[in-house]
Structures are given as structure tokens and as C-alpha cells.
Amino acid sequence: MDYTLNLFLIIITAIFVNNIVLAQFLGICPFLGVSKKTDTASGMGMAVTAVLVVATLVTYIIQKYVLDAFDLGYLQTIVFILVIASLVQMIEIILKHSMPALYQALGVFLPLITTNCCILGVTILVIQKDYDLLQGLVYSTATALGFWLAMVIFAGMREQLAMTDTPRAMRGTPLALITAGLLAMAFMGFSGVDTGLRIMLGL
């Protein structure tokens, strides 16, 4: 029972309290780059979710059964980035042939994901936090959902902003960053929720 409640706590923390973009600053490039429209933002969010969950599964297995088993922990950075890069290529090829419709929707975002630091970041975090495989997968899914949520809210705000008249020097990135700052402030309202839940659930 405690284990299930703990999973619930991991989900809430990853989506709201420690939001990957707004509290941990991972994945800022796509967050600023492809958030001009809600549709594309949502597509990017889904592509990240797909890649992140598969990447966590594969890197976790490699870490436990290859790197830890042969005492090669120092190779973590090199191995993980290579795994992620090849994984993205593979997912792209598989999607292209088996699910052309989904490929149409996500295809353009896939190559961008290799250099998205939230993938490498989360796979390393899962190892650092000492999660087991199920916890790791739940954590990475929840983190990706948090990314998707932040992307969609932010894109919605930017769509509204595009219609307003703003000072010339503020147009584009500066205003986007300030908007993101306000959004981050809103998400700060969730801080402490994880501790509260922990006490409430008796963990």
C-alpha cells in the first residue's frame, strides 16, 4: 500500500511541485522554441513523452546490468547520450513504417529531441534518485506530462500575447521569458504540497 501511495506522491511531485521546465530548467530550448502555437506545443509534448519513457526503460536496464555490473559507472554520460541518439533514430524509423499518421504528427519534432536536455537529464536523475524500474517509469511519465502541461499552458499564453502591442525591444524572446517567469511563479504555489501529502498519507 505504501508503495502505491509513494508512486502517487512521485506523480504529483514531478508534474506540479518540481515541474521539469518551470522549476528544474530542463528542456528550455523546445519550451521557448516550439511554443508559439498550442497544436505544435502539444505535439512536441507528446513526442517527448514517448521518447522519454522508452529512453528511461533502456538506460535503466543498461545502467543496472551493464554499467553497474562491470563497474563502468564513469561511462554513464557517453553511453546515455549515444543510447538516446540512436533510440530517437529508431523510433523515427519505426513510426514512419508502422504508424504513418502518428509520424506525420510527431515526425518533425523527433530529431530535435536528441539535444533536448530533459531526456538526458531525467534518465540520469532516475539513476541518481535510486528508483526501481517501476518508480523510474512512473517518474519519467509524470515528468513528461509536466513538460506537456507547461508547454500547452505557455503556448496558450503566447497565442494571446501575439495579438497585443508590445514595446519593440521586448518582442519575441524577452517577453516570452518574462511570461515564463510569471508562469513559474504560479507553479511556485505548489511548493510544499509534496511535504504536506507525505504527512497526510503517513509516508
Partner 1 sequence: MNNNLKILTNGILKDNPTFVLLLGMCPTLGTTSSAVNGLSMGIATMFVLIMSNFIISCIKNLIPDKVRIPAYIVIIASLVTLLQMLMQAYLPAIYNTLGLFIPLIVVNCIILGRAEAFAAKNGPWASILDGVGIGLGFSGALTLLGIVREILGTGAVFHSDDFGLSGIPLQGESYGMLVFVLAPGAFLVLGYLIALFNKLILKNNK
Residues that bind partner 1 (CB under 8 A): 22-29, 32, 74-78, 81-82, 85, 114-117, 120-121, 124-125, 128, 167-170, 173-178, 180-182, 184-185, 187-188
Q: Which is nearer to partner 1, 5 or 193 (CB)?
A: 193
Taking each helix axis from N to C terminus, what angle separates 117-128 and 76-98, rounded to the nearest 10 degrees?
A: 120
Q: Which is nearer to partner 1, 23 or 108 (CB)?
A: 23
Q: Which is nearer to partner 1, 89 or 104 (CB)?
A: 89
Q: How far is the CB of 77 from partner 1 (least distance, A)?
A: 5
Q: Which is nearer to partner 1, 33 or 105 (CB)?
A: 33
Q: Are 144 and 48 in contact (CB under 8 A)?
A: yes
Q: How far is the CB of 181 from partner 1 (least distance, A)?
A: 3
Q: How far is the CB of 182 from partner 1 (least distance, A)?
A: 7
Q: What cell was used for 192?
A: 510544499
If residue 41 lies in a helix (H) or strand (E), which one and from where to where?
A: helix 38-62
Q: How far is the CB of 6 from partner 1 (least distance, A)?
A: 22
d(CA 133, CA 125): 13
- Nearest alpha-carbon partner for 116 in 137, 143, 142: 143
Q: What cell was used for 151?
A: 508547454
Q: How far is the CB of 14 from partner 1 (least distance, A)?
A: 15
Q: Which is nearer to partner 1, 12 or 112 (CB)?
A: 112
Q: What cell was used for 93?
A: 524509423
Cα separations in angstroms, 131 against 3, 136, 144, 191:
12, 5, 17, 22
